[in-house]
Structure 1
């Protein structure tokens, strides 16, 4: 066991033995080191002013990803290379991204500038990206400029980020890989004592044993929600267990039957696999948070958290996904919809944790659609999330799975609407009416700051009609905000 965390910065290994269980990376940089280039803005991972880059080995490749340091625990950078805005310039030579921002006047008040530069640094080092304005705006969706200075920032990215890399991080990449390989040991981490600690087990058995001893501990994977418990709710969380070092828990296995997703696999790591299951699922993934959130946030964490407005559970429920759980007593698998019992309560026994998820592939006679409705298109919490899988034989809907988020205290299937849709004719909209009415008995939504109950119900009914219209081919042209590639490829016949 190791009682320190270790990471790489400026070519040197940093080792810390005084790591508080809820100490954030941002606080470490600003309060301990006095390095205030990284800014504190929203404190919840929305504005991007606190963005830094983490370098990690992914299948032997050195990959830099942007993260929100305001909600990332300091202990979670163990084994990574940390890069902040202070690290980019070499002697008197600005980094190419910094130079482009200066030359093209990409900085106005300057508060958000370091975060933009760090996001662009990761784009500069990204592989297989297309040089388009859309690529840049997607990459910068998690960075706010309150001076509305986006045009010169995007111009700086287009001029710089798609050229061959030529910076100190490229020059010493081989050395960095060797150092990161050295840091990747297989020891458990435990910093603190039995009453207050940050821990990072290296194996599932180690996690099961530790969590069995401390069932009151907080499990953290990506921290994109737990971080807000600390920064916004000001909760005391004295025992923290990070799952990010457990070998194999980040697996993504694609097979003819479906995709197996380990509970610490991030949205970034799973995006390609889920897009292969459905273009709609891939578009949903792209709209979850920002690049920073998707680089840290995990699919398993989104499920285990049990939020009624989590984006992924309705879509995964509609696809018939199965959840894996484990404890010192063994493992078990349950249907994903059975995991959510009521608001804030899941079918998880003391000492039990989520280890993975299996998402089955669509059969030839099935079609799937999912839609996220939110006030902002990018980086927003959904008001209503609707997901639909229809099984069609000879023009008749013989089975359906319909799931919604934001309509109840948990992500939930619309069982009455599913029954009412059985036997409906795909090409005859008049046979869909009973299912629309049945939704009224499936849900009794609440009114909150995101939407009224009436809006939610009307939207849920409209989304069901939209899914049926798209699949049947009766939709009036393109009714998507964003184009849907290969929309006709999964139409059931």
Structure 2
């Protein structure tokens, strides 16, 4: 433990649950919220399905205060959420939905009325996701597709989705009881006044960037934890032990998203949901990619910085940011340095971070005149699925010629990388079909993809070439494809 952490800084984990503040002494670093609910509290409504944040049977709702001190609710996969990360937050489960007299909540009653439950295993997770939508929409009725988007992290294998969507439409269209937020907000404001948490087990949650920088230098071998959407699986699937954890979720400075000059600066702790929504305001064509990037429970806690720092070759964030010309801002102590994102990745799951260094922010150049962006994700399922191939292409086209090109790919190599040979085939050439064909052929020199459970090597290369053609079809000067021809939603 760092020398500047006194025994007085060790305190219980505190959070709001079941209308009261809960205090937990000696909480293990990696005990999940799901385990605590089912095994310690005997609250067994929340189910374990996949134990990897994919099926949604374990969905609960977390409450946090935003910058204005208002309660914000978000769905979370409790199977990969570590218990100490609840400190200073509010936890709601399916047991909280029914009224004091035992009457069902409108989302529960709608699931009954619309026959939205068969075996019932997934139903508590659906109910919690619908409750979060119900609370945040406050009686308004989103579109059926909007409800489907909100439920993209919940899987059902027996009832089917039509009656569940019917239930969502029925529940969200009516007025009904809403959560009394005042006592929750009051409790969370009081909890926020507490000192940064350091548990005896080695879970540290600094509150400022300075505290984080010092901790990172004092504990260079500690595991940095943000949303846990990947690290959680190390525990539930690989059974790893993590003796020292530095949790980033309390550092507000890491969660900022702001425009600085001609760049969009995204703090490494900003959620995927917030970061991608901001990106899509500047590049509207990214909206669909955002809807297909994981699921609402993952996007609500997972961070774009974590997605980038993780360095998965099939991560969807890196190809897009690489095509946009993003740089990473790294911090060690008080020292800052920047690297182009394509130079950050060294090899499979290896990056340029030095001991005691952490990712502080992502810096993305704002759109410039003449640049066109095209992004495409290919996966076996539309919603909440891992990419077989992800392509992101930024082209600077002027007077019918390609002045500059950045073609970035995920799923084609051990790291996300740019296609140097294909880019060279485009630069300075007219943006026509002949140039396209030359660039497609060059992709075979840039990549020798692997075959795995998601796709064969031959399929990946063919798809990569096809996506480049799709980019040409949507950006060519004559008869470009309309937006409706490029959306998977239009094809359903």
Question: Given the two structures, how large is their TM-score scaled by the length of structure 2?
Answer: 0.93
Following the alignment from structure 2 to structure 1, what is the Cα–Cα distance between the partners of residues 481 and 272?
33
Equivalent residue, structure 1, for 2:219: 214
User: In the alignment, which residue of structure 2 is the partner of 1:80?
Assistant: 89
CA contact (8 A) 1:22 1:240 kept: no
Deviation at 1:86, TM superposition (A): 0.8
Q: Does 1:317 align with 2:327?
A: no
2:175 & 2:270 partners in 1: Cα distance? 29
Root mean square deviation of aligned Cα: 1.7
Q: Distance in 1 between matches of 2:218 and 2:376?
A: 41
Do the aligned partners of 2:314 and 2:389 also contact (CA within 8 Å) in 1? yes
1:113 matched to 2:117: no
User: Conserved in 2, the CA contact under 8 Å of 1:261 and 1:356?
Assistant: yes
Distance 1:41 1:280, change over 3 A: same
1:409 corresponds to: 414
1:447 is aligned to 2:451: yes
In 1, the alpha carbon distance for the partners of 2:232 and 2:277 equals: 26
Give how far 1:276 is off.
1.2
For residue 19 of structure 2, the aligned residue among 11, 24, 41 is 11
Distance, in Å, in 2 between the alignment partners of 1:479 and 1:277 is: 21
Partner of 2:393: 388
Tell me by how many angstroms 1:60 deviates: 2.9
Deviation per CA, 1:309-363: give whole Å up to 9, x if none.
Answer: 1001011000000111111251111111111011011000011111110111111
Does the CA contact (< 8 Å) of 2:141 and 2:169 recur in 1? no
- 1:125·1:165 contact (CA, 8 Å) conserved in 2? no
Gap change, CA 1:149 and 1:429, over 3 Å in 2: closer
Q: How does 1:163-312 map to 2 (within 5 A)?
A: 163-167=174-178, 169=179, 172-185=180-193, 187-192=195-200, 196-254=201-259, 257-312=262-317
The count of residues paired between Structure 1 and Structure 2 equals: 477
Measured against aligned partners, the alpha-carbon deviations of 1:156-196 in whole angstroms (never above 9, x if no partner) come to 110112434523x1xx212222221111136221101xxx4
Q: Which has the higher mean CA deviation after the structures are superposed, 302-311 or 87-96?
A: 87-96
Kept after mapping to 2: 8 A contact 1:203/1:247: yes
Say whether residues 1:63 and 2:66 are aligned partners: no
Between the aligned partners of 1:359 and 1:447, the Cα distance in structure 2 is: 32
Spell out, residue by residue over 1:87-142, the C-alpha distance to the aligned partner (whole angstroms, 9 max, x if none): 11122222121122222222211111111100000010124875211011111111
State the distance in 2 between where 1:310 and 1:250 align. 20
Residue 149 of structure 1: aligned partner: 160
Cα shift at 1:2: 4.6
Residue from 463, 471, 474 that aligns with 1:470: 474
Deviation, structure 1 residue 216 = 1.5
Bigger CA drift: 219-228 or 459-468?
459-468
Is the partner of 1:94 in helix, strand or coil?
coil
Q: 2:148 is matched with which residue? A: 137
> What are the ranges of 5 or more consecutive residues in structure 1 without an aligned counterpart?
485-493
Q: Which digits, 9 at most, give the CA deviation of each residue in 1:442-485, with x for residues without a partner?
A: 1111111111111111111111111122011545564324369x
Could you tell which deviates more after superposition, 213-222 or 365-374?
213-222
1:489 alignment counterpart: none
1:366 corresponds to? 371
Q: Which moved more, 1:331-340 or 1:181-190?
A: 181-190
3-state SS, counterpart of residue 463 of structure 2: helix
What is the deviation of 1:63?
1.6
CA distance in 2, matches of 1:165, 1:55: 20
Which residue of structure 1 lines up, in the alignment, with residue 112 of structure 2?
Answer: 102
Mapped contact 1:256–1:361 kept (Cα < 8 A): no
Q: Does 1:421 align with 2:426?
A: yes
Output the CA distance in 1 between the equivalents of 2:32 and 2:405.
44
SS in structure 2 opposite 1:199? strand
Unaligned runs of 5+ in 2: 1-8
Q: Which moved more, 1:254-263 or 1:58-67?
A: 254-263
Alpha-carbon distance in structure 2 between the residues aligned to 1:437 and 1:93: 64
2:485 pairs with 459, 462, 479, which one? 479
SS at 1:144 equivalent: coil
Deviation, 1:298, is 0.5
Distance 2:99 2:436 in 1: 65
Residue matched to 1:376 = 381
Call closer, same or farther: CA 1:62–1:419 in 2, change over 3 Å: same
Closer, same or farther: CA 163–257 of 1 in aligned 2, 3 Å:
farther
CA distance in 2, matches of 1:379, 1:260: 26
